């Protein structure tokens, strides 16, 4: 990426030692299951964050981003909530590497990104992944070597996000950014970190995966995420299990029976346990080439997230309803919810009709104009220059 190299030269006055990139993601299915030790099925996107970097000898981190301005901090000053703003995702990665005992020094880093920010496509995990990849190579840590070292790196990126950025997220986004391979979704088992590469190819079925960026971002969604997570933990405790993953789908009715006194926990458990089963069913349908079934599973997932997990919003619901009305085989919100993006599985010949239907519905409702792109499964973080 020569633009980020040019930016590095302009800001820091010399050449970077290299350029690294890491992708954003869309999750096909398995939402709000990662922090319940469940299953998720994300793909990495061709949209990436680029980090041009050079080592420094004085233990300082300097960051410059085309969209976010500049940040400078001594490595030993990085702490929960410090620095504030976007810089904490990058700084947090260096902190987590050092905490794990890796010899990581100061860096100058220029950042550029094609991952839309605030669209639920994991721009923060892409930033963490690009910085982690750069630090791993520049300090000779070898953490990009294979899937097992990438698993370690993904866990450190998640720690950066949980501790320094103070967002109580699960590990799906970082795993997708570091462990995905081109042409595949990863089936990630969040209980043990195991990944299976699942071929994800739509063209031969005459289909596309349309991403609908609703452009909606709802205030207070961070607090809502934490509340959902806490409710799941409370429900697991009431049911006497370590996590909701330990409630088999075949025992869902009995588990719900025990939660009849608490509507909130009842609904959350209903979603999580059925969603984990939908991930299994989706993989089976993909492997059998039954794409109509995949579409139906997407839509069931959305209804469950809307009605039981309560993390959708009008913009996401209108996107899903109008996509299906215009011929999508199925559609759902993707990511944390409360805004962000939806995905729709659409016959290629109807893709523009779906875009038009969603755009018109948004116009009628007075929503901000949505944006669209067709997602294809790309590879994980790597060195590019």
- Which residue, 31 or 108, has its beta carbon nearer to ligand GLA? 31
Considering only 21, 31, 108, 137, the residue that binds ligand GLA (CB under 6 A) is 31
Q: CB 89 → ligand GLA: shortest distance, Å?
A: 12
- Asked if 339 touches ligand GLA (CB under 6 A), the answer is no
- Per CB under 6 A, the segment of 29-37, 73-81, 92-100, 370-378 that binds ligand GLA is 29-37
DSSP-assigned letter for residue 16 = -
- Per CB under 6 A, the segment of 10-18, 102-110, 165-173, 368-376 that binds ligand GLA is 165-173
Q: Are the beta carbons of 187 and 41 closer than 8 angstroms?
A: yes
Using CB under 6 A as the binding criterion, the count of chain residues that bind ligand GLA stands at: 11
Q: CB 15 → ligand GLA: shortest distance, Å?
A: 34
- Asked if 24 touches ligand GLA (CB under 6 A), the answer is no
In order, the DSSP letters of 276-315 are HHHHHHHHHHHHTT-HHHHHHHHHHHHHHHHHTS----HH
- Which residue, 35 or 50, has its beta carbon nearer to ligand GLA? 35
Residues 158, 160, 163, 166: is their CA dihedral positive or negative?
A: negative
DSSP-assigned letter for residue 85 = T
Question: Measured between alpha carbons, how far is 161 from 369 in angstroms, rounded to an integer?
Answer: 30
Binding flags for ligand GLA, 211-240, as an x/- string (CB under 6 A): ------------------------------
Question: Measured between alpha carbons, how far is 348 from 202 in angstroms, rounded to an integer?
Answer: 9
- Asked if 116 touches ligand GLA (CB under 6 A), the answer is no
Q: CB 325 → ligand GLA: shortest distance, Å?
A: 26
Considering only 16, 170, 330, 370, the residue that binds ligand GLA (CB under 6 A) is 170
Q: Are the beta carbons of 268 and 228 closer than 8 angstroms?
A: yes
321 has catalytic annotation: no
| Catalytic-labelled residue, pool 108, 112, 173, 213 | 173
Considering only 5, 169, 270, 322, the residue that binds ligand GLA (CB under 6 A) is 169
Query: Which residues contact residue 68 at a Cβ distance below 8 angstroms, ignoring those fewer than 6 apart?
Result: 85, 86, 87, 111
In the chain, where do the E strands start and end?
Answer: 18-27, 39-40, 42-56, 60-65, 69-74, 106-113, 184-189, 194-199, 207-217, 330-334, 339-347, 371-375, 382-383
Beta strands 69-74; 39-40: pairing state: unpaired
Q: Which two tokens stand for residue 118?
A: 């605030």
- Asked if 34 touches ligand GLA (CB under 6 A), the answer is yes
Considering only 38, 336, 339, 370, the residue that binds ligand GLA (CB under 6 A) is 336
Q: CB 170 → ligand GLA: shortest distance, Å?
A: 3
Question: Nearest to residue 186, comparing CAs of 343, 29, 296?
Answer: 29
Q: CB 134 → ligand GLA: shortest distance, Å?
A: 22
- Asked if 173 touches ligand GLA (CB under 6 A), the answer is yes
Q: Applying CB under 6 A, which residues contact ligand GLA?
A: 27, 31-32, 34-35, 169-170, 172-173, 335-336
Which active-site residues does the annotation give?
A: 173
């Amino acid at each position: 990426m020569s633009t980020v190299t040019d930016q590095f030269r302009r800001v820091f006055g010399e050449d970077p030692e290299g350029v690294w990139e890491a992708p954003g993601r869309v999750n096909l299915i398995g939402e709000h299951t990662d922090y319940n030790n469940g299953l998720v099925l994300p793909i990495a996107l061709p949209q990436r964050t680029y980090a041009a970097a050079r080592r420094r000898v004085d233990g300082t981190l300097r960051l410059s981003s085309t969209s976010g301005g500049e940040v400078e901090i001594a490595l030993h000053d990085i702490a929960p909530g410090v620095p504030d703003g976007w810089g904490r995702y990058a700084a947090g990665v260096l902190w987590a590497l050092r905490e794990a005992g890796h010899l990581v020094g100061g860096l100058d880093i220029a950042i550029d990104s094609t991952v839309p920010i605030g669209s639920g496509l994991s721009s923060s995990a892409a930033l963490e992944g690009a910085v982690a990849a750069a630090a791993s190579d520049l300090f000779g840590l070898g953490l990009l070597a294979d899937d097992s070292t990438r698993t370690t790196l993904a866990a450190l990126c998640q720690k950066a996000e949980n501790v320094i950025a103070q967002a109580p997220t699960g590990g799906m986004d970082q795993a997708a950014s570091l462990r995905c391979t081109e042409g595949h979704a990863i089936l990630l088992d969040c209980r043990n970190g195991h990944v299976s590469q699942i071929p994800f190819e739509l063209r031969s079925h005459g289909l596309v995966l349309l991403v609908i960026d609703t452009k909606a971002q709802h205030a207070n969604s961070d607090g809502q995420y934490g509340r959902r997570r806490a409710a799941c933990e409370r429900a697991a405790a009431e049911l006497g299990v370590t996590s909701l993953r330990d409630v088999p789908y075949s025992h869902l009715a009995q588990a719900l029976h025990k939660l009849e006194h608490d509507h909130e926990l009842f609904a959350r458990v209903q979603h999580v346990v059925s969603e984990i089963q939908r991930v299994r069913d989706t993989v089976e349908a993909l492997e059998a080439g039954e794409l109509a079934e995949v579409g139906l599973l997407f839509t069931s997932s959305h209804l469950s997230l809307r009605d039981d997990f309560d993390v959708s919003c009008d913009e996401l619901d209108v996107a899903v309803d109008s996509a299906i009305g215009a011929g999508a085989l199925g559609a759902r919100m993707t990511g944390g919810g409360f805004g962000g993006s939806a995905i729709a599985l659409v016959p290629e010949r109807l893709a523009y009709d779906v875009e038009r239907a969603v755009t018109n519905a948004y116009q009628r409702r007075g929503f901000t104009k949505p944006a669209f792109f067709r997602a294809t499964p790309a590879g994980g973080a790597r060195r590019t220059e």
